Chains A and B, each alone.
Chain A
Amino acid sequence: MAILKVNPNRMELLKLRKRRAIAQRGHKLLKDKLDELMKQFLEQVRKNRKLRKEIEEKLAKAYQIFAIARSESSAEIIEEALLYPHMITTVKISEKRLMGVRVPEFETEQEGTFDCYGLSTTPAILDKALLSLNEIVPLLIKLSEAEKAVELIAVEIEKTRRRVNALEHVLIPQLNETVKYINMKLDEAERENRTRLMKIKEIVAQGSI
C-alpha cells in the first residue's frame, strides 16, 4: 500500500491522525447510510413489483376489452370516436427527499369525462374499455414515480458504496500506513538521537577522565 507524500514529522502525524479519525467516522456514517438505503431499496422494489404486477394484470384485461371493442366495429369508427378527446390529465411534478435522495413526486389531476363520442354508432363495450384504461392511467403514473425513485436510489447506493469502498480500502489503509510510517520514522529519529546522546555522554565522560 502506497503511503501519502508527507513530511514525517509530529505535526503531520497529528494532522493525519485527525484525518484518520474523521475518515473512520465518515466511513461508519456512510456504511449506515448504505445499509438504510439498501433496506429502503429492497422495500421499494418489493412494493414496485407488487404494483407492477397489479397494473400489468389490469392492463392486460383493459387491452383485451379494447381489442373486443376494436373488433366489434371498424378502425375508422373507433378512431373517429377518439379523434377529439376532451378529458385533460395534468401531471404536477414536485420533489421529495428520500434518505437524502431527491425523487420526483407526480400528482395527477383529471378534468372532464372520457366519453367524447356519440353513443349511437360506437360499440357499447368501448365505454367499458375506456373506463378500465382511464382507471389505469393514474396507476401508471404512480408506477413511473415509484420506478424512478428506485432507479435514483440505486444510483445513490452505487455512489455511496463507491465512497464506502474508497474510504475502507484506500484512504483509511493509506492513512494507517502513513501514520505507521511516520511513527517508525519518529521512533527511528528518537533512537538516533538517543544513541547520539549516549555517544556524546561517553565522549564527555572520557574527556573528563
Chain B
Amino acid sequence: MLNALRDPLKYGFAVGRIKVRETKMLGLNRIDRLVSASNFADQKRILAETDYGSFFQEATTPEDVEKALNDYLAIVYEFLEEVYPDKQILSYFRSRYDFHNLKVLLKAKYGEKTAEQIWSKLGMLETEEVKKAIEEGELEGIAEPYRSALYEAMERFEQDKNSQQIDIVLDKALYKHLYEAAKKQKNKFFTGFVRSSIDLVNLKVFLRAKSLNRESKFIEDAFLDRGFLEKEKLVSIYYDSLDIAVNMLKETSYAAIVQESIVGQEFDPDLFDKKVDDFLVRYLQPAKYIPVGLEPLISYIIAKENEVKVLRVILIGKLSGLSAQTIKERVRVQYV
C-alpha cells in the first residue's frame, strides 16, 4: 500500500522518460537489417536512422566503433543520472568500469607497462589520481569498496606473483559491491537479478575452469558469494562428469543454459555468453509491464547495455570479417 503511494512519486518521472526512450530502442527488425547489411558503410546508414547515428558518423575502424559505443554508454549513464540521481544505482552501473581500471592499474604497475589506452572512461573514480595513489602506496584517499579490494589484490599478488589473483579478487569485490548496491534498493526483483547474475558467473567459472583443467581449489577461490546456488555443492561435483552438474541444476532455471553448452562430454563456450545474456534479459522483460517502480528503470539501463553489446558483436564482427551467420547466432534477445 505504502509502495503504491511512494513509487509514483519516486520513480514516476524517470519511468515516464524511459517509456518514451524504450520506443526508440533498436528492436529486432533493425538488428536483422544490421546483421544482413553487406558492409560497415551500410550498417552506418542503418544506424543513422537511430540515436546511435551521430556517434558513428566518422567511424571506420574497430577502435572507432569501440569509442563510439563507449561515448554512447556515457550518454546512457548521464541520462540515468539526470532522471534518477541515486548514487547507489549509478554506482551499480558504473563501478564495474572502476574495477576494470583498478585491474589495469595494478597489472600495469606489476608488469611495468603503460596501459592508459585501455582505461575505461565510464567509471566514477579519477583514474589518474588512483594511479598516483597506487604508485605511491598511499591508498588512504581512495573510497571504499575500492580501497580494501586494492589492498587485498596487492597482498594476494605479492604472495604468489600470479596476475590472475588480481582479477579474481577484484571481480569478487565488484560483485559484492553490485549485490550490496542492489540490496540497498530493497527491491526483490533487482537483488534477484544480481543473484542470478552471480550464479551464472559461478557456472561460467565452473565450466571454464573444468575445461582448462584447473584444480577444485581454483574455483573455490574464484566463486562469488551471494548467489542462489550453493557453491559448496558445485565444488563437490567439480571432478565428476558434466552430466552430474546438469542433473544437479535440473531443478533450477539454469539447466538449459548449461545443458546446451555441453557437446559430448566437453564444455563448448561458443554461445555460452549469449545464452547467459538472453537469460538475464528474459528475467528483465516482465519489468516492461510494470507501470511504475525501480524495475523498469534498471531494466531499461541494463537493456541499453545489452543493446550496446549486441551492436558491438554486429559491427566489430562485420569489420573483422565474420560471416552474417556467425554474427546472427550471437545476437542477443532484445528487451523490447
Contact = CB atoms under 8 A, between A and B. Distances in A.
A37 to B, nearest CB: 41
A15 interface: no
Given A76-B100, A84-B163, A120-B222, A71 B270 contact: no
A120 B115 CA distance: 21
A27 to B, nearest CB: 55
A124 B276 CA distance: 11
Given A67-B320, A83-B113, A118 B104 contact: no
A83 B115 CA distance: 8
Contacts of B120: 74, 76
Given A72-B313, A75-B118, A115-B212, A123 B322 contact: no
B110 A84 contact: yes
B209 interface: yes
A72 B330 contact: yes
B66 A74 contact: yes
A125 B100 contact: no
Given A76-B118, A84-B111, A124 B208 contact: yes
A120 B107 contact: no
A184 interface: no
Interface string A71-87: 11111110111011110
A83 B270 contact: no
A195 interface: no
A120 B163 contact: no
Interface residues of A, number: 31
A7 interface: no
Interface string B160-188: 01111011101100110000000000000
A72 B277 CA distance: 11
A121 B270 CA distance: 16
A199 interface: no
A121 B104 CA distance: 14
B147 interface: no
Contacts of A84: 107, 110-111, 113, 163, 166
B201 interface: yes
Among B63, B212, B327, find the residue whose CB has the most chain A CB atoms closer than 10 A.
Answer: B212
A127 B209 CA distance: 10
Interface of B: 62-63, 66, 69-70, 96, 100, 103-104, 107-108, 110-111, 113, 115, 118-120, 161-164, 166-168, 170-171, 174-175, 201, 204-205, 207-209, 211-212, 214, 222, 224, 269-270, 272-273, 309, 312-313, 316-317, 320-322, 326-327, 330
Interface of A: 64, 67-68, 70-77, 79-81, 83-86, 113, 115-121, 123-125, 127-128
15 contacts: A67-B316, A71-B313, A71-B316, A72-B313, A74-B66, A74-B69, A74-B70, A84-B166, A115-B164, A116-B163, A124-B207, A124-B272, A125-B272, A127-B212, A128-B270
